[in-house]
A and B are shown apart, each in its own frame.
Chain A
Amino acid sequence: MSLTNRSKVVSNKKFSFLESLYLPAIFHGMFITLSHLFKKKTTVRYPEVKRPFSPVYRGLHVLKRDDEGRERCTACGLCAVACPAEAITMVAGERQPGEEKLYREEKYAKVYEINMLRCIFCGFCEEACPKEAIFLTDRLVPSQTEREDFIFGKDKLVEPVDQRVDVSKRQSQKVLDFKKDKNQRHNS
C-alpha cells in the first residue's frame, strides 16, 4: 500500500559502459544549467521594484484619527490586554477643556508605545480595539541600529492630519459588520 504515488523503486543495477563514463550525464547537467541562463530571473530589484503586498498584510501600526482629525484612541487598554507579546504600553490622560479638536472622547492616551522588537504583528490589538483606532498597515517597520529606536511612540504611530494612512483594505464590510455584531462578546 502506498500513501502517495510518489514512491520510487530503488534500483542497484550496474552502470552500462556509457553511464560509467559519466560524460553524457555531465553534458546533460551542463545543458540544464545553460538553459537556466536564459530563463526569467526571479529577483525583485527591491528599492526600485516592490513586490505587491497582500491586502491583509500586517505591518507597521497606525493610530487613526477620525474624519475631523481627532484621535480616536481612548486609552481603554484592550489592545495591551489582547497583545500576546506584551508589546503595548500606554498612559491615559484626561482631556482638558479646549482640547476637543484633538481628542474625540474625554479620555485619551498620553503615552502610547509599541515595542517593535516584541511585536509579533498578529493583529490582535486591531481586533480588540472597540474604537477603530489602531490598525496594522502594509508599511514596513524601518530598520534601526539602537534597541531604543524600536520603541515607537505616538510621534511615529499617530497618523498626521494631512497624510492620512489608508486602511480601507482592512475595513471591509464584513469586518465592520463583525465589529458591530452585538452577539459577539467583545461588542456587548
Chain B
Amino acid sequence: MLFLVYKLTLITVILLVSLGIAMYATLLERKFAGFLQDRYGPDRAGKWGLLQPLADGGKLFFKEEYMPNTADKFLYILGPCLTMLVALLTSAVIPWGPPLVIGGVEYTLQVANLNVGVLYVFAIASMGVWGIMIGGWASNNKYSLMGAIRASSQMISYELAMGLSIAALIMMMGSVSLNEIVAQQQGWHWNVIYQPIGFLIFFICALAETNRHPFDLPECETELIGGYHTEYSSMKLGFYLFAEYINMFVSSAVLATLYFGGYHFPFIGRLGLSPNVAAILGMVILFAKIIGFILLFMWIRWTLPRFRYDQLMRLGWKILLPLALLNLAVTGIFILLKG
C-alpha cells in the first residue's frame, strides 16, 4: 500500500514538474530569443512575463476548435494525444536523484528501475514520430503529409547513428540500466570525457529527434506553413507545440544522465552531508544540468539556419553514421586492449 502511494506521488510529482518545466521553457525560449535579438521578450503578463505561459495556455483553450471535414476524425484526435503521451513516458526511467531515506525506508527517485532503461528510452523516443505521422496523415493536407513524411525519414536516418553512439556507451558501461550508468559516473568519471564523439553524435541526433532547429524540417514554418500541425487548432495544436518542449526537457534529462553524470557532481561526496541533503542537492544538480542543456538547445536554435533536406540526409547517412560506426569500433578496440 505504502509502495503504491509512494510510486503514485512520485509519478504525479514528475508529471507536474515536467509539465511545469516545459511550460516555463516556452517562456524561456521566447525570452532567450528576445535577448539574443536585442529585445526583452514578453514582459507584460506578470513580473518579467512570468504569467505568459498561463496566458498562452488559456488562449489556446479558448481558440476555435477547427477540424477539416475531410480529415479522419479518430486519427486526427489520436495524433496529438499520442505525441503528448509518448513525450511524457520517457521520464519514467530517469533516476532523478540518489535514494531518499525517510523513517528507515529507502525511496528511490525513479519511477521504474528498469534493467533495460536505455533501450526503453530509445524505444519510446522512436515512438515519438507516430504522433506526427498520424497527425500529418489524418489532416488530409499535402503540406501536413509532407511534414509527416519528412519527420519519419528524418527519424529513421538519425536513429541509426543515435543507437550506434549509445551502443559504444553501453559497451563501456557494461550495463543498459540507467541507474547503473549514473552510478558508474561518480566524481569526475563523466561519460562525456570518455566518449566525446559519441556525445556529439548523440547530441546532434537528439536535436533531430526533438525536431529542434537546425533540424526542424517537419515543421518548417517558411516552407510547409507549420508542417504536420498546419490543420490543427486550439489545444490540439497546443499539445503538439507543448510536446516539443516536453521532449526537449526529457532529452536534456537523458543527455545529462547518459553523458554528464546524472545527479553526480565532483567533490560533493567530500562535503560530508547527510544522505538526504546530498540526495536533494543531487536532484538540484541534475535539474541545473537539464536546464543548461535546454538553454543550449535554444542557443543553437536561435543561431543556426535550418538545414536543406538533402543536407540533412547527407549529414545523417554519410557523416554521422560512419562516424558512429568508427566510434563503436575504436571503443571496442580500447575495451579489448584494456581488459
Q: Chain A interface (Cβ within 8 Å of chain B)? A: 26, 29-30, 32-34, 36-37, 39-43, 45
Contacts and interface: CB of A to CB of B under 8 A. Distances in A.
B38 A39 contact: yes
Contacts of A26: 303-304
Max chain A C-beta neighbours (<10 A), residue from B39, B299, B303? B303
B36 A37 contact: yes
Contacts of A33: 36, 299, 302-303
Given A30-B299, A34-B299, A42 B38 contact: yes
Contacts of B274: none
A122 to B, nearest CB: 33
A29 to B, nearest CB: 5
A41 B40 contact: yes
Nearest to A35: B36
A26 B39 CA distance: 23
B70 interface: no
Given A34-B36, A36-B36, A45-B43, 6 more contacts: A26-B304, A36-B38, A39-B38, A40-B38, A42-B38, A43-B38
A69 B299 CA distance: 62
Contacts of A39: 38
A26 B303 CA distance: 8
A41 B31 CA distance: 12
20 contacts: A26-B304, A29-B304, A30-B300, A30-B303, A32-B303, A33-B36, A33-B299, A33-B303, A34-B36, A36-B35, A41-B35, A41-B39, A41-B40, A42-B38, A42-B39, A43-B38, A43-B39, A43-B40, A45-B40, A45-B43
Interface in B287-303: 299-300, 302-303
Contacts of A32: 303
Contacts of A43: 38-40
Interface in B27-42: 35-40
A43 B43 CA distance: 11
Contacts of A40: 38
A39 B35 CA distance: 8
A109 B300 CA distance: 64
